[in-house]
Structure 1
Amino acid sequence: MAAIGAGAFVWDGQRIEEEELRRSAQELQQLENPEAFPEQERGWEPVMEREHFRLWRRPIPGSALFQYRVFGSYTDVTPRQFFNVQLDTEYRKQWDSLVLKLDVVERDPATGSEVIHWVTQFPYPMYSRDYVYVRRYSVDSDRNLMVLVSRAVEHPGIPEDPEHVRVRSYESHMVIRPHRGFDENGFDYLLTYSDNPQTVFPRYCVSWMVSSGMPEFLEKLHSAALKAKKMELELRDYLSPAKGPEPCGAPQHLEYA
């Protein structure tokens, strides 16, 4: 297994490029102005609405699975706190009781992309699932946006383990828009997500697990951000290069035409 930050990225070609970050930022525009985008970018079916968020889904062509979209808002934590809590793998091991393993395997110094190995519990009687995915983030202070993109990849240093089921289809795009600034309470977020947990359960069971599990995770994430704020926990600050890793090779201003 490659050491973190050492040498060339062993899986060159599977980095998350800047264009992928731009497309993720556009998803917020699609939600606010759907008529300005092609028909294939629409077709979202409402699934759930609660006080702090709305959930939609749409079929993934050629499969029995759905893609999900959550739009929500919080007013009691800052965008920086919410963003840092998502990215801090060590802190997640404390607040997410389902995590069995969560490690940064490798970082790409050219783009800031990181390979993550994540093992998580699934409801009994299912086996735990393990994910190998790459993630990359961007912070655009001019457009007041934060973007985090993750998707499944193959990595030669992380072979399959017979104790877990390897999830090979997984993608997550999070866009955060502060109501004011990165350090002031209040923001909107848009999460677009798809996952094939590779179960033998009927489609409606899988749909229920994903559509109910995602809001539950977001509420735990929000609670963890509140706890970090209240206890003044020292988390890695991913918005400040002096305190965190390199700023991901992404420009501070991206065009989202």
Structure 2
Amino acid sequence: MTESMEQYIRSLVEKSVQGVLADGTINSSRRKLVIGNWKMNMSIEESALLFEGLRGEEQACDVAVCPPFPLLYPVKVMLAQFQDSIALGAQNMHWAEKGAHTGEVSAAMLKELDCRYVILGHSERRQAGETDEEVNLKVKQALAAGIQPVLCVGETKDEREQGRSGEVVVSQLHAGLDGVEDVSSAVVAYEPVWAIGTGLAATPEQAQDVHRTIRETLANQYGASAASGVPLLYGGSVKPDNALSLAVMDDIDGALVGGASLNAVDFKGVIDGFTRG
């Protein structure tokens, strides 16, 4: 076989694989996922009002909320009463099983409360001093406990302006998943630091470019089939008016929502956007 023929066949194979990933043939089994990160907000009363506002809504995508630690049990009770279709998640956890770690909570404690998800490596935690190594230990501990880690990655404004977005995100992804052999229960959230709480948001095309890089990185490490099953979320000033435009992108499977998850109207608007997308 001539070299030109080999190149031609290789080109056809690459286009075929890219086409499958793009047209949704492989990723058609991925349900959209919207997770509300309440951060250090909400009271018991405000939580009840939120769920009352969402009562009776049928979600065609998966939905979860991640309250502050003191609200985990009250919200668990409320979800059973108001919205049993919404899952519970946590905003952080420690990497150790137990021990002298004042102010921390373990994966087992979260599991006992039926937490399905836990946000790990959020930029606000990283800015407070959390390292890639600590994030990696937490990811592995969450997986061992049967909790789905939502691994957050994202670049700062300076890193983006330097053209290093892909480099930073891939580095954080590799570090967070170091030693993880099975990613079938993992979730990855791309949150550009410059868009968190600023009112700024990546355009759908900018977000899709980074999500495609994440998907390709996972495919290189775990294979295309495994990578196609990992939900990739976008976070960073997600609102009802930009949810649909993000949802229609090939590799954006949902959102990690901050401020818009604190009231029923906005949260429902985001959920509706990803349901339609």
Whichever structure has more strand as a proportion of its residues is: 1
TM-score scaled by length of structure 2: 0.27
TM-score scaled by length of structure 1: 0.29
